[in-house]
Chains A and B, each alone.
Chain A
Amino acid sequence: MTERLTIGFLPLVDACLPILAHEHGFAEEEGLELSFVRDVSWATVLDRLLYGHSDAAHLLAPLAIATTLGRGRPAQRLATPFVLGLNGNAITVSNALADALNTQGELCDPALLGERLKKIAHERSEAGNPIRFGVVHRYSSHNYMLRYWLAGCGIRPDEDVEIVTIAPPFSADALDAGEIDSSCVGEPWNSIAVEKGVGQIVLATAQIWRRGVEKVLALREERLTEIRPAVEGLIRAMRRTGKHFVNPDNWDTNAAILSRPEYCDAPHQLVRRAISDRLVLRPGEQVLEYPDFMFQFHEAANFPWVSQAEWLYSQLVRWDGLAYDRSAAKAAANVFRPDVYRSALAATDSPLPTANSKVEGSVSETLEASVKGGTILLENNTFFDGLSFDPDMLERYIEGQK
């Protein structure tokens, strides 16, 4: 018997796994019939999830936590049994700011770029015209990565620079109109700004945190319990899709599907570039390959590490001006559900980490991590400032980042 699942998403390249699981029949093989609801704001994706229009959604990881903690609306518990991907975002600056920063059309060193930016940010702030960044949502990894980088470079978000919310499809126009000086957004929207000649890509968020959690598959906790076998089937289907997705032989086919009007509605060429970790930083320049750009499969990228949820909680507390709260921290940690991921994939050859948490940012050279029945290799997952996040020290980490 087939079970129907409705999945909400925003037109972004990293909605790829559920979409391709449907298109390539991997979901069907698990007895699932998927249908999709495409929206243009996260608020609406979330509304549909909370009021039963969708069973699951492609969602910003921090938004799943903020919703559970009742930030901005009454608390509703969400559950994340699967990470849809790591990173995949970039920071694009206006041509004027790129000139001022003297970027040479390459991905910059984050610390060096921050140093140069700091000087300009202070000048602009003193002149009463602070640099303004656009991010996709208040509770987004884009916002947290950007703020982590700025603060780490001695630039105080909200004081030295402004950070505003802007919907991804409008970020290129906003750069062009001078409404913002820079944006932190997912693909294909950076590349669209470059194509239009209104901005230049200067950093990939992977340079800020090499293996940062990005979108997740989110469900209401209650709904997850109700339809758990179907969700486990979906997890298996998406793992198989991930393997297909990272195979270069399939890039053309996958880009063709994702660029369709009902999905990303974006130029094929730009989607293909993003899914193959390629970027054009400035108009007319050579394509640059940056293998760490987005991560959908390898290194157990889809495993919902509880430590990732806890890091996001540390940033939510930091930027919402809250104090550490033990029960809130626990509720945030519980959003990520490695138990569901494990039970879904127990009978497959997908590597299943034996731990639920890890020290984030601690791997600077290839490391063997133990998984059920063996090991997998974890590559560099550092933060740009060399600090690491030990979830056992959550409270101290939060105190230290004031």
Chain B
Amino acid sequence: MRIAIIDESPLRASIIEEGLASLRDCEIFTLTSRDGLLAKIAEIGPDIVFMDLGNPSRDVLEEYFAVSRAVDRPIAMFVDQSDDDSIAASVQAGVSTYVVDGLSAKRIRPLLDLTMQRFNAFSRLQSELAEAKGKLQERETVDKAKRILMASKGLTEPAAYAELRQKAMSSNRRIFDIADAVVTAHELMEGK
């Protein structure tokens, strides 16, 4: 079976490719660029196409599947109405699937499941990364606020932190929110 993975994120594409690589009798093609996409698809002649939902070329590809004479076997969106839940899950995971006419759902399902798992793993990875980045940024803001308080009120670092924490507790807000307010106010005063 010839499988095309179209994804503008090379990282995610390679994660999916890796997941499918273990399958026997599957040849996998990864396309990460918009340039010449249709020509490449025509050349590959895939049995199944996985494309990320956020890909701006989806309408272009669907149009091509609908009208192109270059694809000799018609390809359509995989919408197995008998199993709405799995389609909903694939939309949730962020992947759309196109298959050649006549390919049985039984053959598609394991591939789809595997691809979805990989998509989900990738988004978990991304949200963890975003969370880590966010935390780092919060810590930087708190540090900045501490330095402002230390300089302007002549406090020690623990005292500056205690002040932030005190204010956060008494106003029922997070320390980061207080720190952010301090930094913003400071910037305004400094005319930045």
B157 within 8 A of A: no
Evaluate whether A170 and B77 lie within 8 angstroms (CB atoms) in the complex, with A138-B66, A165-B63 already known. no
Chain B residues within an 8 Å CB radius of A370: none
Evaluate whether A137 and B81 lie within 8 angstroms (CB atoms) in the complex, with A40-B54, A167-B56, A167-B57 already known. no
User: Could you tell me if A43 and B58 are in contact, using CB atoms closer than 8 angstroms?
Assistant: yes
Assembled-state Cα–Cα distance A53/B96 (Å): 14
Q: Which residue, B60, B64, B87, B96, has most C-beta atoms of chain A within 10 A?
A: B60
User: Could you tell me if B56 and A137 are in contact, using CB atoms closer than 8 angstroms?
Assistant: no
Scan A122-165; emit 1 where CB is below 8 A from any B CB, else 0: 00000000000000111000000000000000000000000011
Evaluate whether A72 and B77 lie within 8 angstroms (CB atoms) in the complex, with A52-B88, A53-B91, A138-B63 already known. yes
Assembled-state Cα–Cα distance A227/B92 (Å): 22
Give the Cβ gap from A344 to chain B, nearest Cβ, in Å.
Answer: 29
Interface size bucket, A side? 20 to 34
Evaluate whether A167 and B53 lie within 8 angstroms (CB atoms) in the complex, with A52-B88, A74-B81 already known. no
Q: Which residues of B in the span 80-96 have a Cβ within 8 Å of any Cβ on A?
A: 81, 84, 87-88, 91-92, 96
Assembled-state Cα–Cα distance A74/B66 (Å): 14
Q: Which residues of A in the span 236-282 have a Cβ within 8 Å of any Cβ on B?
A: none
User: Could you tell me if B34 and A136 are in contact, using CB atoms closer than 8 angstroms?
Assistant: no
B79 within 8 A of A: yes
User: Could you tell me if A74 and B59 are in contact, using CB atoms closer than 8 angstroms?
Assistant: no
Scan B93-115; emit 1 where CB is below 8 A from any A CB, else 0: 00010000000000000000000
A326 within 8 A of B: no
Evaluate whether A42 and B59 lie within 8 angstroms (CB atoms) in the complex, with A74-B81, A138-B66 already known. yes
Interface size bucket, B side? 20 to 34
Assembled-state Cα–Cα distance A48/B58 (Å): 14
Give the Cβ gap from A319 to chain B, nearest Cβ, in Å.
Answer: 10
User: Could you tell me if A39 and B54 are in contact, using CB atoms closer than 8 angstroms?
Assistant: yes
Scan A53-78; emit 1 where CB is below 8 A from any B CB, else 0: 10000000000000000001110000
Scan A35-46; emit 1 where CB is below 8 A from any B CB, else 0: 000011111100
Chain A residues within an 8 Å CB radius of B60: 164-167
Assembled-state Cα–Cα distance A10/B54 (Å): 12
* Partner of A167 from B59, B87, B96 at Cβ < 8 Å: B59
A283 within 8 A of B: no
User: Could you tell me if A51 and B66 are in contact, using CB atoms closer than 8 angstroms?
Assistant: no
User: Could you tell me if A137 and B91 are in contact, using CB atoms closer than 8 angstroms?
Assistant: no
Chain B residues within an 8 Å CB radius of A42: 58-59
B76 within 8 A of A: yes
Chain B residues within an 8 Å CB radius of A138: 59, 62-63, 66-67
Chain A residues within an 8 Å CB radius of B57: 41, 167
Chain B residues within an 8 Å CB radius of A39: 53-54
Assembled-state Cα–Cα distance A165/B55 (Å): 14
A25 within 8 A of B: no
Give the Cβ gap from B78 to chain A, nearest Cβ, in Å.
Answer: 10
Q: Which residue, B58, B59, B62, B91, has most C-beta atoms of chain A within 10 A?
A: B59
Assembled-state Cα–Cα distance A118/B50 (Å): 40
Assembled-state Cα–Cα distance A333/B77 (Å): 26
User: Could you tell me if A72 and B62 are in contact, using CB atoms closer than 8 angstroms?
Assistant: yes
A385 within 8 A of B: no
A233 within 8 A of B: no
Give the Cβ gap from B168 to chain A, nearest Cβ, in Å.
Answer: 28
Chain B residues within an 8 Å CB radius of A105: none
Scan B38-75; emit 1 where CB is below 8 A from any A CB, else 0: 00000000000000011111111011101100000000
User: Could you tell me if B77 and A51 are in contact, using CB atoms closer than 8 angstroms?
Assistant: no
* Partner of B91 from A41, A48, A167, A170 at Cβ < 8 Å: A48
* Partner of A43 from B62, B76, B87 at Cβ < 8 Å: B62
User: Could you tell me if B76 and A73 are in contact, using CB atoms closer than 8 angstroms?
Assistant: yes
A109 within 8 A of B: no
Residue of A nearest to B60 (CB): A165
Chain A residues within an 8 Å CB radius of B59: 41-43, 136-138, 165, 167
Chain A residues within an 8 Å CB radius of B56: 40-41, 167, 169-170
User: Could you tell me if B58 and A41 are in contact, using CB atoms closer than 8 angstroms?
Assistant: yes
Residue of B nearest to A136 (CB): B59
Q: Which residue, A43, A51, A73, A136, has most C-beta atoms of chain B within 10 A?
A: A43
Chain A residues within an 8 Å CB radius of B88: 51-52
A99 within 8 A of B: no
Chain A residues within an 8 Å CB radius of B54: 39-40, 44
Top 4 A-B pairs, shortest CB-CB distance:
A165-B63, A41-B58, A43-B58, A40-B56
12 A-B pairs, CB-CB below 8 angstroms?
Answer: A40-B56, A41-B57, A41-B59, A43-B62, A44-B54, A73-B77, A73-B79, A74-B79, A74-B81, A138-B66, A164-B60, A170-B56
Interface residues of B (CB under 8 A from A): 34, 53-60, 62-64, 66-67, 76-77, 79, 81, 84, 87-88, 91-92, 96
Kindly list 19 other residue pairs between chains A and B, CB separation below 8 angstroms, not including A74-B79, A165-B63.
A39-B53, A40-B54, A40-B55, A41-B55, A41-B56, A41-B57, A47-B96, A51-B84, A51-B91, A53-B92, A72-B62, A72-B76, A73-B76, A73-B79, A138-B63, A164-B60, A165-B60, A165-B62, A165-B64
